Amino acid sequence: METDSVLRDSCEDYHEDTNISVNAGLIHPHNIDRSILIESETNETSQPDEVLSTSVIGHEQETVTFEVFPEGSKRGKPLLVSSDGFRYSVKKNQKKSVLWICSSRSLKVRCYATVIQKGSEFVRGHTSHQHGPKVSLKEKISVSVQVKTSASANPYKSATEISTEIRDNSILPEQPGLPLASSLARKANRYRCTLRPAEPKDLQFEVDECFLKCKDFLVADITNGSARHLVFATKQQLELLSNTKRWFMDGTFKVVGQPFESGQLSSIHGFVKVNNVEKQVPLA
């Protein structure tokens, strides 16, 4: 009992020294005059909402440009290409304007978007496209036109070489949707087929020397009864052949079609030495 009273007195003395009162298990700080300190409440004031900007930084709308390719379509017809990935074909020619219509047509999608051309000005119609744009369309059409033009001007140059040179020089390496060089080469060969003369049906055909683009390439045209012999060689080949001591002849039937199915393709070869390298090459 004596011990409990001593502890109680010491606790009271401690609370008096520290100015803290105990009431129902709660501890409250107070001033020296024993009044309890009550913190004032924080008053919140409403602030007006901040006006958010609707502009997008770095995505400004680009100006759409148009370019006309006189032989841009697969059939060599005029084609209008926009910089945002759409192409149009001619629907109607008028005195002072041209009406272009979207060339994207299929069984499922029929697009009626139009563009009106007046001189060098292009204005889009009110109808929107029913499909999405194509990536790098303008660059693809430009490369395709260049490949066709070069293939026509250089009939003896490899189509693969033509397509690779134009593709590498006209399109940036990081450009998306790049056409393959092999695809461009096939396109060049298909275009060359449309420029060739019609396939002969009998032996009475005429040789189109203008298409060959090689002067005096047809050396002789000999007819003997029902047989016909055509001899082709350049002047340089004939000079080399005349200086060779030994001639070699070869013949094949596989590459011969109508109307020469009963004959064969014969060639005369000789050895030619250039820079200490000697090879056998066809000379006639």
Q: What is the pLDDT of residues 239-267, one digit of tens each?
A: 988 888 889 988 888 778 788 777 788 88
- 208-228: pLDDT as tens digits: 877 777 778 888 888 888 888
CA neighbor of 127 nearest in space, from 73, 76, 91, 79: 91
Residue where the block lists tokens 């602030």: 47
Per DSSP, helices labelled H in the chain are 2-18, 137-153, 159-170, 181-195, 209-212, 235-243
What per-residue confidence (pLDDT) applies to 98? 92
Q: Is the pTM of this model over 0.75?
A: no
- 169-194: pLDDT as tens digits: 877 667 677 778 888 889 888 888 88
Residue 14 sits at φ, ψ, to 5 deg, of -65, -45
Residues 6+ apart with CB under 8 A from 155: 192, 213
- 84-124: pLDDT as tens digits: 889 999 998 988 899 999 988 777 778 889 999 998 899 99
DSSP at 201: S
What per-residue confidence (pLDDT) applies to 257? 77
Is 122 within 8 Å of 115 (Cβ atoms)?
yes
Element spanning 255, H or E: none
pLDDT surpassing 80 at residue 129:
yes
Q: How far apart are CA 13 and CA 31, in angstroms?
A: 17
